[in-house]
Amino acid sequence: MARVMVAMSGGVDSSVAAALACESNNEVVGVTLRLWGGESDSGCCSVSDVDDARRAANALGIEHHVFNLGDDFEKHVVSPYVEAHSAGLTPNPCIECNRHIKFDRLLNRAKSLGFDKIVTGHHARVVKRKDGTSRIARAKDEAKDQSYVLYMLHQDQISSLHLPIGDMTKDQVREKANSLGLRVATKPDSQDVCFITREKGRADFLGKRIPLTPGRVIDENGVEVGQVEAIELVTVGQRRGMLLAGGKEPRYATNVNIETATVTVGTPDQLLVKKTEFRDPIWSEKKIKGEFLVQTSAHGKPKQASVEDGLLTWEEPHPRVASGQSVVFYEADQVAGGAIVV
């Protein structure tokens, strides 16, 4: 019998993951991470989510504990998120939470407490390869697939991870929760950034932590065509939220210069590039290069590109990817690695 720690967020996915872990005759303990003490209405970090997780654990007849990792979350997720916006970057806090909190602090604590594996409710799969290595792979439910945000996992982390709902669709997960009488069966999915409220938004959150700077918008010829209320809130590829003078074609942010508080805009064609630089590559088992399917956002459509020495060369011109975002390299449906765009 394996000892299994289940990360229970209070949502339907992790609650069903805990149920499936119980059905496999494991010794199961549920753990909820208290990460954010500020306002939250996302269905991920709010006080009510701890209560939802506890109720689900009680319904399943398993122990439930709460780990307070708020200081780590502030240090490794929230502060870097704010600093990235100050530098004109577009961060992905969900990836950093997985990197530093769920699969570092939590996994290490689980090991120190004698657990064999941790279980999460991510929509992804762990697959064993013929050479004995393991990889993260896409979920059965492509619309809910979360393999993109797990690209940073190394072999020892993947081997300690079980993802029981990866072979289920979201509808099947909800049906399972309903059959078990779990109150979270119809609970809505959480939004991406758990510490930013829907009501007040990113501008309010960042504005309380850093000065937000009004900026100019120029076209490719340097002619001023509009303004933005805060240069720190603009990301490459953005179309909305810029006060632009009239124009027939849609225009997108093609460059953000934080030092001069200037956004350059262009047509869809001017947004396209042949190459994308990246840094800090992480490989699931060993460094490799060659042709991959490359995904540039959590639910984006992957495109063919060659990967070598910090440079992506796209098979077809590809929209610019904002600095700070992640690119994830797939071989078929398996994650081979990923990196951060320069």
- Residues tagged active-site: 97, 194
**Regarding beta strands 334-341 and 326-331, do their DSSP bridges make them parallel or antiparallel, or are they unpaired?**
antiparallel
For the stretch 173-182, contacts whose Cβ atoms lie closer than 8 Å and that sit 24 or more positions apart, written own/partner, are 173/12, 173/13, 173/16, 174/12, 176/16, 176/19, 176/20, 177/12, 177/15, 177/16, 177/19, 180/16, 180/19, 180/59, 180/60, 181/59, 182/12, 182/15, 182/16, 182/19, 182/56, 182/59
Alpha carbon 332 to its chain centroid, in Å, reads: 20
**Regarding beta strands 311-319 and 272-283, do their DSSP bridges make them parallel or antiparallel, or are they unpaired?**
antiparallel
Give whole-number Cα distances, 254 to 46, 90, 269, 310, 321, in Å.
Answer: 36, 13, 10, 21, 9
> How far apart are the C-alpha atoms of 77 and 101, rounded to whole Å?
9
Please say whether the beta carbons of 323 and 341 come within 8 A: yes
Please say whether the beta carbons of 30 and 57 come within 8 A: yes
Give whole-number Cα distances, 215 to 87, 212, 243, 329, in Å.
Answer: 14, 10, 10, 35
Tokens of 163: 């993802």
Give whole-number Cα distances, 261 to 87, 229, 281, 322, in Å.
Answer: 11, 10, 30, 16
> How far apart are the C-alpha atoms of 105 and 99, rounded to whole Å?
9
Please say whether the beta carbons of 292 and 336 come within 8 A: yes
Query: Which residues contact residue 23 at a Cβ distance below 8 angstroms, ignoring those fewer than 6 apart?
Result: none
Please say whether the beta carbons of 151 and 282 come within 8 A: yes
Residue type, 87: A
